[in-house]
Structure 1
Amino acid sequence: MMAVRLFCRRDRMGTAIALLVAPLLFGCQSVSSPPSPNAAPAAELHVLTSGGFNIAFDALATQYTAETGTRIVTGYGPSMGETPQAIPARLDRREDADVVILARSALDRLAAEGKVTPGTQVDLGLSKIAIAVRAGAPVPDISTPDALRATLIAAKSVAWSDSASGVYIQTTMLDKLGIADQVRPKGRMIPATPVGEIVASGQAEIGFQQLSELKPVKGIRIIGLLPDSLQKVTAFSGGIVAYSSRQQPARALLDYLSSSKADAVIRESGLEPASRKAKP
């Protein structure tokens, strides 16, 4: 059997340098590069999610950890807007993040700006806009566009979010109803805080927000969805953060969130699973 020798010398700093590498090392140990001080454990993922998918994701994160052992660290913020908590602002600060979940239009903007890895976007849940009043308050008629128009004209105060649903209410729906000039002055776009909480506290008589965001709020009554002809369905979608060092584990999480294993939780939260939507 041929003997294999490994010769070593030292440089000026005293570091051992191998002159010959063999399958079996005698007398020297290999030196590996130290891990990056910013590297997270392989079994950990950081996710930023917006309000429409928060309830579903909290449950799914627990479910995913139980099945895979991967620890999920979750941060919350709106899909858009000017607040520091907004997901685009958090990526601008390069907060530790591997996956973002937010309204599809905002996600696609992040991908176009190079902040989300192109081609990783996947729709997870489809959300509709609902209307709420304070618990115990009279229930107004919202069953038709005409009924909703009359209700909004009669209301003393109205609130909507500063994210996807609220932008639609303020810039599109009120114009469709022909009452923008009457309702905008008494309306409030609410940043960062759930609209349901504003309604529950009596600060607004009527509130509009994604059904999935209104469902967990106590002290309100959800009186229904927008009429079909006025409804806007928003896709909440996930993507992988471009600067994440954990691209493959992030992809595995998105695959799980868009699989049939997530369907029941997504429906329970007030969304419809996007992967199960009818094909045209």
Structure 2
Amino acid sequence: MSRADTTASILYHRVVVWLLFLILLLPLAGTLLYSLSTSWSATILPDGLTFKWYFELWGEPRFLKAFGQSLLICFSALFLASILILPLLFVVHYHFPRLDGLMNILILLPFAMPPVVSSVGLLQVYGSGPVQLVGTPWILIGCYFTIALPFMYRAITNNLHAINLPDLMDAAHLLGASTWKAAFLVVLPNLRKGLMVSLFLSFSFLFGEFVFANMLVGTRYETLQVYLNNMRNSSGHFNSALVISYFFFVLIFTWAANRLNKDKS
């Protein structure tokens, strides 16, 4: 193949990719434009542009409460996952490396069962009795904790393989550090970027979770996704502003995770 043919082929593929990207971007662009329009019914373009719907959205106490409760649930679940998964991974990879294969299977179990089926089981177990958690944020924190585990396990495991944990620990021991001192002062700083990437990606996924939140707590502890579902019959402009705000918030976290991942590589 000549250089001209290669250049033409590359140009063709780039044009196809950009066309597909623009096609995928059209619904989002339409939603953004609708959220900024004063009215838009029988014309190709809206009659006018305004930020009224965004001001109305971010001045709505119910929305702010749902937004804050979503953040609280996600941050609590990720904090719990972090303080449990880091010691577990250190022990497995340093003391019992043969268990890594078994852990790879066990850690995927939360995705083996559909959320609807899991929710029904949790309703039966925690809906009554001495440990009644349905309708409280605690059951959501537990569910989100299990969902975040696979993301965090894989990201941090890859990080541990990259830093060669046994050799790093041996070097720390030779310098007089104890096992736990080496883990905190040597290993943990080397896992910072892997941990941050896993936290950002997990947060982006958990922040949009709807099934567990709707079935297990609903309006008793309204999260952002439940709020969005409950407001589906309100103004289309208001809902569009809500969707765009949610999209850009998640986009920022996803961009941060990708940026950290590039810096890591």
Q: TM-score, normalised by structure 1?
A: 0.27
Q: Which has the larger share of helix?
A: 2
Flag the structure with larger Rg.
Answer: 1
- Considering Cα pairs closer than 8 Å and 6+ residues apart, tell me whether 1 or 2 has the greater RCO: 2
